[in-house]
């Protein structure tokens, strides 16, 4: 995680801005959500769970989540190499909020279907 001096002052003062800097984007919330559903996922499982993500983007996103202490990467030194991802304690704290967004999104989708 970046030290406080590296984070712009406007972000330091706004919790929402700070939170979305850490979990915003197309994939981070989805990765955290899927890890909450399965507890532990390997790279290939995450890739299959998110079929619209490229290998490069998945790797980059996982590194960012790990750098922000939201996920834990556990590497097993064996052949072939095995890497597992799970939520950290900080990442687990986000799940109730992501679950709320999930439920809100499902409700909005259902409302759209009623309108059509």
Q: Do the beta carbons of residue 87 and residue 36 sit within 8 Å?
A: yes
Give me the CATH number covering residue 14.
Answer: 1.10.10.10
Residue 22 pLDDT: 86
Question: How many structural domains comprise the chain?
Answer: 1
Residues of the chain short of pLDDT 70, as ranges, are: 1-12, 115-116
Residue 66 pLDDT: 96
Residue 5 pLDDT: 61
The pTM score is 0.81
Q: Do the beta carbons of residue 90 and residue 69 sit within 8 Å?
A: yes
Residue 19 pLDDT: 85
In terms of residue numbers, what domain contains 93? Answer: 4-115
Across 4-24, b (16+ Cβ under 10 Å) vs e yields: eeeeeeeeeeeeeeeeeebbe
Residue 11 pLDDT: 56
Residue 1 pLDDT: 52
């Amino acid at each position: 995680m970046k030290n406080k001096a590296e984070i712009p002052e406007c972000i330091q003062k706004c919790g929402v801005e700070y939170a979305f800097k850490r979990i915003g984007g197309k994939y981070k919330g989805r990765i955290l959500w899927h890890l909450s559903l399965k507890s532990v996922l390997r790279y290939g499982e995450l890739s299959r769970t998110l079929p619209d993500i490229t290998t490069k983007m998945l790797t980059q996103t996982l590194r960012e989540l790990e750098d922000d202490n939201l996920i834990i990467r556990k590497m097993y030194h064996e052949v072939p190499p095995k890497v597992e991802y799970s939520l950290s304690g900080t990442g687990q704290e986000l799940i109730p909020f992501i679950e709320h967004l999930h439920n809100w999104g499902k409700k909005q989708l259902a409302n759209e279907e009623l309108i059509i």
